[in-house]
Amino acid sequence: MKKYYYSYLLSLLMVFCFILTLSAQETLRLQLFGEVDKLKEESEGKKAELYAPINFEKAIKYYNEAEDYYKRGKSLEDIRESIKNSQVYFAKTIDICKVGEVIFSSLIAVRNDALSADAPKHSADLWKQAEKQFGIAARKLEDNDLENAKGKITGAVSYYRAAELEAIKTNYLSPTWELLKKADEIGTKENAPKTLANAQKLAGKVENVLQQNRYDTDEARQLAQEAKYEASHAIYLHKSIDMMNQQDKSYEDVILEHEIRIKRIANALNLMVGFDSGFDIPVATIISAIQGKDTKEAKLGDELRIAGETAKQKDAEIDNLKQQVALTEKRLGTLSTAEKKLQYEGKELQRKLDTKYEQEEIVRRVAAMFTEEEGNVLREGENIIIRLYGLTFPVGTNIIEDQYYSLLSKIQVAILKFSNCRVSIEGHTDSQGGDQANQTLSERRAKAVAEYLMANMNVDIPINHQGFGESRPVASNNTPEGRAKNRRIDVVITPAW
């Protein structure tokens, strides 16, 4: 027994000694590297690799050398010597950066613009030229040759600007260029020359607009989308016409096929249409029916709102009816068949109105939970939509920041007010950025909100999520206010009513 006890004590002692050794090593490293680590962090924060690349490279070289000596157990004298050399160069880079921040301020701003446009990816050659010119200017600065350093700025700025513009054009027009290239390869000009020419014309307009003002991208984006559509349209027309030629279809065949398609739409709306006078009358009839349907739905929505507002008044009327029925019962003692039917219908009407009133009251209470800045609550058919304008994300991310937890807590409370409901989180973006990027971002944000709600609710409610990108705007993308409204999360609740 003593043997095991002494063995246990020895193990504890070895562990304790190991911990002391680690602690001593950490203390020694802090003593040796503490000052140089601070200089290294400050130097990196000032972007010394840009402003003073040569001195920064030497500083890093000596720093890595010191770390290597420390890990290999070299003498403290060798380690301190490398650290000292590293400190000298880090300090020198910091002094150079202070001057560079003043001299290169405009150059850095232009470089950041090019980075934002993803120029290293979309305009690699021009970006490399710009970086090369920046490097030359930085080395002149390190040599304290300020005049020549300033002289190199102009060339670097020109390359960065050109790289930025090319990247923006590529970002907006690359899908159109690919379609136009495909259109050229398959001979689209033969069958759809007008549509193809329109696509090319729109693509040219995009380049002109960006050339004049690359930062006001709304018009360019709209034109780019139109150009992409027309290029795709031209390819479709070419293939369709080519197929008709191969199948030896006549003009009559083509017109009849279009009549069938329009008739299908009319049938879905319970309309009878004829084509003996052409397409104009059937199309006008369909449009009129759709507009009438929209008007009818809007009127129904108004009626539902009015019903909710007057529910209390109807309750009072029902109470009065009940009192009258009670008095009749007292007078007659028993109810006739007609009176029993009247009593049943009165109770059924009261039940329906009570249910409707309760439903509308729940919606009103949910709407009152949110401020105008946080969002608003609206009805869409059977769905209750909580439109969250107040939940925003850092640019290009799906990170939910701490400040929005309280808003999402309100959403959880709101959902629980609708028993046995279905919930879907919908992500939406404005029109800034590419179509696919916006679609992906909206999906990621909707998923993040759905996962957060499911993780923080104490009941098991399945919450679906879906992204719609920029395809469902609720305001104009031509104003900052409109874009802010389009960048939103919609919580769609379908109650089990």
Each residue's pLDDT tens digit, 195-245: 999 989 988 887 787 778 776 667 777 887 888 898 899 899 989 888 888
Judged by DSSP in three states, 191 sits in helix
What Å distances lie between residue 336 and 91, 278, 319, 332, 476, CA to CA?
A: 104, 64, 21, 9, 64
In whole angstroms, give the CA distance from residue 250 to residue 71.
85
Tokens 């304008």 appear where? 389
Q: How many residues does the chain have?
A: 497
- The 3-class SS string of 268-281 reads HCCCCCCCCCCCHH
Neighbours of 65 (CB within 10 A): 18
Sorting pLDDT into bands at 50, 70 and 90, what band is 267? confident
Question: How confident is the model over 364-385, as a mean pLDDT?
Answer: 88
In whole angstroms, give the CA distance from residue 328 to residue 145.
109
Name the pairing type of β-strands 422-428 and 463-467.
parallel
Confidence (pLDDT) at 439: 92
User: pLDDT (tens digit, 9 = 90+) per residue, 66-80?
Assistant: 889 888 888 888 888
Contact in structure between 97 and 52 (CB atoms under 8 Å): yes
In whole angstroms, give the CA distance from residue 280 to residue 284.
6
Sorting pLDDT into bands at 50, 70 and 90, what band is 429? very high
In whole angstroms, give the CA distance from residue 55 to residue 52.
6
- Burial group, residue 152, by CB count within 10 angstroms (0-12, 13-18, 19+): buried
Confidence (pLDDT) at 245: 86
Q: Which of 323, 328, 331, 372 is nearest to 350 (CA)?
A: 323
What Å distances lie between residue 157 and 107, 127, 129, 356, CA to CA?
A: 6, 11, 10, 67
Confidence (pLDDT) at 446: 95
Contact in structure between 117 and 167 (CB atoms under 8 Å): yes
Confidence (pLDDT) at 20: 46
User: pLDDT (tens digit, 9 = 90+) per residue, 457-480?
Assistant: 877 778 999 999 999 998 888 787
Confidence (pLDDT) at 244: 87
Confidence (pLDDT) at 307: 55
User: pLDDT (tens digit, 9 = 90+) per residue, 5-26?
Assistant: 556 555 555 655 545 454 556 7
Confidence (pLDDT) at 101: 86
Task: Out of 32-36, 355-359, 367-371, 415-419, pick the least confident.
Answer: 355-359
Contact in structure between 91 and 140 (CB atoms under 8 Å): no
What Å distances lie between residue 98 and 94, 102, 110, 242, 390, CA to CA?
A: 6, 7, 19, 67, 40
Residue 2 clears pLDDT 60, i.e. is over it: no
- Burial group, residue 347, by CB count within 10 angstroms (0-12, 13-18, 19+): middle
φ and ψ of 282, to 5 deg? -60, -40
Per-residue b or e along 41-55, where b marks 16 or more CB atoms closer than 10 Å to that residue's CB: eebeebbbebbbbbb
Task: Out of 137-146, 219-228, 335-344, 355-364, pick the least confident.
Answer: 335-344
Neighbours of 300 (CB within 10 A): 11
Confidence (pLDDT) at 285: 87
Residue 317 clears pLDDT 80, i.e. is over it: no
Q: Which of 233, 244, 245 is nearest to 180 (CA)?
A: 233
